[in-house]
């Protein structure tokens, strides 16, 4: 944990920019849960395809829906899905990787061969197969992508556990009679937490991209709910006549990805 505190106190400008950017976006998402200027799914054909104005600061789409309200609602869904994916993949992957790395032997061999098989399949492709079986929807996307993310987290944590499982303080814990689960989750995991958090930040970034890609293809968030990927897909036909319908969700999607990228890149750099 001392290494974590030293890193936080370092003057790492990219990390700070990413953290501030994400804080602003998360604050906007939090506010949007309690207040939006318009119902994001309410149609008003008399206001269809209107440009930017004081009434509609990001314009309206071809159905007269307020683009700003839909962007904020879409960011809610995108963030909820990304959080759920990382929770499923990160937590299960951490448990699997910790047990595999610490126990070793045949258990490690079986788990890692299965892990290698799954990790050889692109996560987005694996999620596509799973969603095609259970159908689209917010929670199905969380489960599908979460399972697809487990192998990468398991491999990350396993490698870190192997590095420290024979350290002096772990040997002392064994001599004092500490059980295997206590050693793994009380003594080892807090010391590999910064590396796991770096994986979480990368996982958030990848989850945002994966969810947006699935929603863009029409198998992610189900209509009429908005997501940034679905908004980009819906705006393809009006991207020249109503470019704000593409620019607004694309801009916020880029901000989300940049924020997570800056945080994850600098969180995991050497010396952390």
> By percentage, how much of the chain surpasses pLDDT 90?
2
Q: Give the pLDDT band (50/70/90) at residue 87.
A: very high
Four-residue CA torsion sign, 36, 41, 47, 51: positive
**Rounded-to-integer distance, Cα 48 and Cα 128, Å:** 34
By the 8 A CB rule, do 183 and 73 touch?
A: no
Q: How far is CA 177 from CA 132, 163, 165, 181, 185, in A?
A: 49, 21, 15, 12, 15
Structure tokens at 185: 């989750």
Mention every residue, 6+ apart, whose C-beta is less than 8 A from residue 48. Answer: 60, 61, 62, 63, 64
| Residue 66 DSSP SS3 | strand
Question: Would the pLDDT of 9 be above 70?
Answer: no
Measured CA to CA, the distance from residue 151 to residue 90 in angstroms comes to 9
Are the beta carbons of 206 and 149 closer than 8 angstroms? Answer: yes
Domain 14-26+67-267 CATH class label: mainly alpha
* Residue 64 clears pLDDT 70, i.e. is over it: yes
Choose between 5 and 146: higher pLDDT.
146
CA–CA distance, 100 with 4 (Å, rounded to integer): 25
Among 28-32, 156-160, 226-230, 264-268, name the one with the lowest average pLDDT.
264-268
pLDDT tops 70 at residue 267: no
Confidence grade of residue 270 (pLDDT, cut at 50, 70, 90): very low
Q: In this structure, what is the dihedral angle of CA atoms 79, 140, 133, 249, given to the nearest 10 degrees? A: -30
Max mean pLDDT range (84-93, 138-147, 169-178, 207-216) = 84-93
């Amino acid at each position: 944990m001392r290494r974590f505190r030293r890193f936080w106190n370092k003057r790492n400008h990219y990390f700070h920019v990413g953290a501030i950017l994400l804080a602003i976006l998360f604050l906007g998402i939090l506010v949007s849960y309690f207040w939006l200027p318009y119902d994001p799914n309410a149609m008003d054909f008399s206001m269809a395809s209107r440009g930017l104005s004081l009434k509609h600061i990001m314009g309206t789409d071809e159905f007269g829906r307020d683009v700003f309200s839909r962007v904020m609602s879409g960011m809610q869904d995108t963030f909820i899905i990304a959080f759920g994916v990382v929770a499923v993949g990160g937590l299960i992957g951490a448990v699997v990787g910790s047990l595999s790395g610490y126990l070793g032997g045949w258990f490690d061999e079986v788990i890692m061969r299965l892990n290698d098989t799954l990790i050889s399949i692109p996560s987005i492709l694996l999620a596509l197969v799973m969603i095609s079986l259970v159908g689209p929807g917010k929670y199905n996307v969380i489960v599908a992508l979460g399972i697809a993310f487990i192998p990468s987290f398991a491999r990350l944590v396993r490698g870190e556990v192997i590095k420290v499982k024979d350290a002096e303080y772990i040997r002392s814990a064994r001599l004092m009679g500490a059980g295997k689960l206590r050693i793994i989750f009380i003594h080892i995991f807090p010391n590999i937490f910064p590396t796991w958090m770096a994986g979480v930040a990368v996982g958030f970034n990848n989850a945002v991209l994966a969810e947006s890609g699935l929603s863009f293809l029409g198998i992610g968030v189900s209509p009429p709910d908005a997501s940034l990927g679905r908004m980009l897909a819906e705006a393809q036909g009006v991207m020249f006549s109503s470019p704000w319908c593409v620019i607004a969700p694309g801009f916020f999607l880029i901000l989300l990805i940049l924020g997570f990228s800056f945080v994850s890149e600098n969180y995991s750099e050497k010396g952390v």
